[in-house]
Chains A and B, each alone.
Chain A
């Protein structure tokens, strides 16, 4: 591997001590730009949003001796002149940085050594802007295996700036590249129209690229044959769909199964932390705030991390292997009729685990309108948090009828998916209008994915989630805790009585004492929730839910489950305890025996069916809204999502209740 600096070019940039030379890292998609960025910057990188867009830029620092270089990894683009978000971001960043911040002093252009002629068109286009630059010929390890040799001295002369051979994957040549970052030079190339640039790039590639005779050429042919064979299966109209469904199911199941252990562990650890905090802080408001507000809020944020990290890790592997581009092709045929591109399939599928990582993975979608539509509809997919609610309500509706219960489960998932795709159609025809871009995509070579890149992508996205969405989620959890915990109320007389009895019998019958204390706890919780701000709001909003058949207790359940859907079940556990004095009866029997003030049952068949439909469609998850705000670029999108989903859920629940009643059920 070698380096070449054009002779007689402009002088090198003198770095100012303490002020790093700022580089914009640019290149075509699939040139290994991000792999090289990770190799140069390691963990000294962070993700920043580009102003006014949902696209992110990674900013990093690389160090060579006493010199520091700031690098901005821009989205891959094929040209600066395209009317596409990635192209606009690259243009804007070269000219003005991020609204004046991080404005680059120079450009680091990443070219594919295996297909130099193709990369040179873009290299010339960028150098013609007059920015000093350095060109990194990436993937030289693979080029050598194919028998490709590049005369970089000649290429550097032609371009007028330093050229360095590197391999982001193996790290070869990166030391030399970092040294050359101190000597960017403006290329001596004039702007030209595309046909002229293409002709120049071809001629330059013909002059500088040599194909060594012998075995490596056979390797290239073998590689092509392998790609042909794989593409024959992976892009086949039938086999491609089968493989695609298999891969996506595997991805989903892996996330679902592998994430459950660390998620349980996080909840366990934070449960202990809460107990530990309660033990060392004197009882009172501060203890309550820290243990039940802050610690629970942090736990409520971190519990999503395993799913997020696993999803990004696996997606990175799939993307790096070259499969994801093929998967997008296959899925495109399924989703295009609904105004969504093939790229939307991964977010929509992974939303079945959790909408939060799903919406973050929507960054894969190149077009911002497609990305926005996907973010808006992803929460319709039945996430794992809905499962406890489905179990409870389907268990109530279909006692002793496992087949009907199974069909109802499947129906819930189908209803969510149908709502998502039809909403996507509606969204693309109204508020996010615009043509879905033509499905044209470059298919990268198949290769073994880089674990290093996958780990870096995972760490970056995990930290980014904790830093941005996490802070909002913690705040939301604290507010909801406060609404549910205050104002303090006196315990109900019966709870006081049970607690007194427990004290009396403690020595003689510890088991009974524990049971009485447990009953007292439940009764106190019920009373506290009923009289809390949340309880008062529940009473206040109950008339709104009256058409759905909900009394004030179910209204509280709806409100508390805004923190997370599964909270509905625990709320029912607390609220329904009044229906059963012992507290030992199963939850299903308890909610069955819940009565309104007029003595009629709270849960009827029609109410439960409507409630089930409500939970399939409603946006009962404030952390998801926080992520929508971040990923879609504003609270207005989150508000729209909340209003639309809640409105649709309300109407559908009402229609379901009326329909079930019309069928003769209570």
Chain B
């Protein structure tokens, strides 16, 4: 399982606004699922952004579109990437 420092826990991927880049902090999922996510490009500290929340949460990672059920997105913690201006 991907483990991050508690202070880096971040927000749920399901709550991340569309188009906001973020880094993956932690996936609170069984090890097999975490390994699968990593193989799909969703590994710790990868940069991703949400394209759509609908039937599923669709994210763009490494130029690929990956869709996941809402239940999975709620168990992935991300941290929005701060803009150069310091917002966020």
Measured CB to CB, the residues of A under 8 A from B are: 78-79, 81-84, 114-115, 117-118, 194-195, 198, 227-228, 231-232, 235-237, 240-241, 325-326, 329-330, 332-333, 336, 435, 437-443
Contacts and interface: CB of A to CB of B under 8 A. Distances in A.
Majority secondary structure, B binding face? mixed
Contacts of B36: 78, 82, 84, 437-438, 440
A336 B68 CA distance: 13
B41 interface: yes
A433 B35 CA distance: 21
B32 A329 contact: no
A121 to B, nearest CB: 8
Contacts, number: 104
B66 A440 contact: yes
Contacts of A330: 55
Contact of B54 (A194, A235, A437, A440): A235
Interface string B52-66: 101110100011111
Contacts of A241: 55
A231 B54 CA distance: 9
A78 B69 contact: no
B60 to A, nearest CB: 9
Contact of B55 (A194, A236, A442): A236
A438 B67 CA distance: 11
Contacts of A325: 67
Contacts of A195: 43
Contacts of B85: none
A237 B66 contact: no
A438 B43 contact: no
Contact of A117 (B55, B62, B69): B62
A193 to B, nearest CB: 11
A78 B39 CA distance: 5
B51 to A, nearest CB: 7
A395 B58 CA distance: 50
A438 B65 contact: no
B54 A236 contact: yes
A443 B40 contact: no
A232 B52 contact: yes
B29 interface: yes
Nearest to A29: B40
B63 A115 contact: yes
B54 A78 contact: no
Given A333-B55, A435-B30, 17 more contacts: A78-B36, A79-B35, A83-B32, A83-B35, A118-B41, A231-B51, A235-B54, A235-B55, A235-B56, A237-B54, A329-B56, A332-B55, A336-B69, A438-B68, A438-B71, A438-B72, A441-B67
A330 B29 CA distance: 22
8 contacts: A236-B54, A240-B55, A325-B67, A329-B56, A438-B71, A439-B69, A439-B71, A440-B37
Contact of A198 (B43, B63, B64, B68): B43
B67 A329 contact: yes
B33 interface: yes
A440 B67 contact: yes
A442 B40 contact: yes
Contacts of B35: 79, 81-83
B18 to A, nearest CB: 10
Nearest to B37: A440
Contacts of B67: 235, 325-326, 329, 439-443
Contacts of A82: 32, 35-36, 39
Interface of B: 29-30, 32-33, 35-43, 51-52, 54-56, 58, 62-69, 71-72
Contacts of A227: 65
Nearest to B41: A118
Closest 7 CB pairs of A and B: A78-B39, A439-B69, A79-B39, A443-B65, A440-B68, A438-B33, A235-B54
Contacts of A237: 54-55
Contacts of B51: 228, 231
Contacts of B54: 231-232, 235-237, 240
A279 to B, nearest CB: 60
B58 to A, nearest CB: 6
Contact of B58 (A78, A114, A336, A443): A443
Contacts of B58: 231, 235, 443
Nearest to A80: B39
Contact of A118 (B32, B38, B56, B64): B64
B30 A440 contact: no
A235 B52 contact: yes
Given A84-B36, A198-B43, A442-B40, A115 B56 contact: no
B54 to A, nearest CB: 5
Contacts of A439: 56, 67-69, 71-72
Nearest to B54: A235
B64 to A, nearest CB: 6
A96 to B, nearest CB: 22
Nearest to B70: A333
Contacts of B42: 440
Nearest to A30: B64
A23 to B, nearest CB: 23
Given A81-B35, A329-B56, A442 B43 contact: no
Contacts of B37: 440
Contacts of B38: 194
A115 B62 contact: yes
Nearest to A444: B65
Contacts of A81: 35, 39
Contact of B29 (A118, A333, A438, A442): A438
A567 B29 CA distance: 51
Nearest to A202: B62
Nearest to A87: B39
B29 to A, nearest CB: 6
A344 to B, nearest CB: 15
A588 to B, nearest CB: 47
A232 B72 CA distance: 20
Nearest to B65: A443
Contact of B64 (A79, A437, A442): A442
B52 to A, nearest CB: 6
Nearest to B75: A438
Contact of B66 (A114, A115, A198, A443): A443
